[in-house]
Structure 1
Amino acid sequence: MIVLKDVYKTFEQNGERIEALKGVNIKVDKGDIYGVIGFSGAGKSTLLRTVNFLEKPTSGTVIVNGKNMKKLNKKQLIDTRKQIGMIFQHFNLLNSKTIFDNIAIPLVLNHLPKDEISKRVYELLNFVNLESKAKSYPDELSGGQKQRVSIARSLATNPNILLCDEATSALDPQTTESILELLKRINEEYGVTILLITHQMNVIRKICNKVAVMEKGRIIEKGKVIDVFGNPKNQVTKKFLDSIVNDQIPDSILKLFKDNIKYKENAKFLRLKFIGDSVLVPMISRITKMFDVEVSVLNASVTELQNIPIINMIIEIRCESDLFEKISDYIRGQNIFVEEVV
């Protein structure tokens, strides 16, 4: 559906050369909800805008629905863009027009008959649960309702791709949840492939099946959400994961253990990560019985990524170093991620 190959984008600003994208490669398959996450200035918005050629790459290839965007003439580009809906962070609604008229804009531009326009608009109002707001104006709606109108408008021409530019960052958490559920319905019921950018880890966790992590114009990690965030390699990826998973020993607990003379010798700390079926393994019970050691649980948290459970746990074990290595090796053998916490 969407392929970016070695895409670079350079801007000239005040005589300075700025590289917004540096050799970006991603592939979004049909039916994906593909998230691109990164901090401000990472190049996410530029990447998104290259897909529909609102930003033309300095070099590289953009393929959408099997078409090389660079090789399309003006008319072909317009026709291709009709298959690509776009949702904006700040809604981009016309305050002087009713909700009905805002949603109808793409259909009017396509010169559809009035009865077809009316039928399609009311279908979409029903889908986003705003049937009663057809004659209202944007200023009369809440932020969440405005975003629903924006989503309805983006679906007016029956696109097969939807681009979401920080679609929930201006919304409160409860409204964000409802918008994410709506996007998921669009993907499942209409079969629309979604490419979204965000700086909110909760958005990725909730609806994305694939993710790319961006930093300074580059993709630093990408793949299935569970693979990328189940075992992050890059520090930026770990920071995003930290926003939804607490896997650190609280300072007060760590100080309590380290200050106690009884625990200063032969005390080791391990971070364990259980993913999927491994959460069923009663690991603490096993190692206390098998190796005759005492184990303290210092921290534990449970989360989900794509309906796959993840348990993060930090434990303290008191034993000799050689036995500690045997215990660590045994845990790894049960498909559980292990690392020593210094």
Structure 2
Amino acid sequence: MFLGPYQLPNNLALAPMAGVTDLPFRLLCRRMGAGIAAGEMLTCDVRLWHTEKSRRRMDHSGEAEPRVVQIAGGDPQMMVEAAQRNVEAGAQIIDLNMGCPAKKVCNKAAGSALMRDEVLVRQILEAVVKSVTVPVTLKMRTGWDATQKNAVSIARMAQDIGIQALAVHGRTRACMYQGNAEYETIRAVKESVAIPVFANGDIDSPHKAKFVLEQTGADGLMIGRSAQGRPWIFREIESYLRDGIVLPEPSITEVRDIMLAHLRDLHAFYGEDAGVRVARKHIDWYAKGRATAHALRHALMQATDARSQLDQARAYFDALADAEGKLLNDAA
């Protein structure tokens, strides 16, 4: 699969998620089998880029090609400046956000709110595509609400303007993340254009991945929330789609080792204080659905330094591994 001049190792993409897809998580998901991973959404207002948060979002140190930066905004010229500045800083693909449903984004006529104004969409797409030499891609939803599903018309417009790939989340903005993703609109988008289309929404297992590809005819899959605490979902899906092999769930000890390495990367990337805070949600995701996860959650909220956080997380998963081993021995 190609995006512009870049051949991807597979057709699986990590969805950009604010507060989640920082550099440590992108690197982890790439190691776990994601073919491409976009950074967190970056505002097009370059005046706001001087914060520590923005500088971290623009950090792509050690990241494999192609490096993808997603920008959001509703002003064509500001989007142009943001795109050009990121390309100068090393971005190799610019992704335009017209899918974010958050109120603070939509209230600024950005994200999925743009889908209500196709004239402005055209202005933004034309301006950005003309302003940079790297591929420009677009992430969007099926529409604003059930009465305004215009993903097909925007997809055709995008292709005509020069957008080189689309990612479509199978919900309207009104749906937020509620209910089941609907795939018929993604199929209609795919049937209307020749550029690559990534299907996004509710892809949480290898079998669901195959189902979504069959239902939509999409070229690739974009996975977001299902990778939180389960970055190995990419290798599981890749194995099943490529070879028809369902990989076993990782052992408790492997999950522990993946998580601890991730936590160390977070502590190094953010610094100890901020890293400990950011790591809490990831540990919560790794522990989700496991025995006594509530006890771990309580203990982790008390950890204020990296060493104690690592020690508590390690002890919790070691206890799970011991319990798992005892069950296997008893069964034998």
TM-score normalized with structure 2 length: 0.36
**Larger of the two Rg values belongs to structure:** 1
TM-score normalized with structure 1 length: 0.35
Kindly indicate which of the two structures has a greater share of residues assigned to strand. 1
Kindly indicate which of the two structures has a greater share of residues assigned to helix. 2
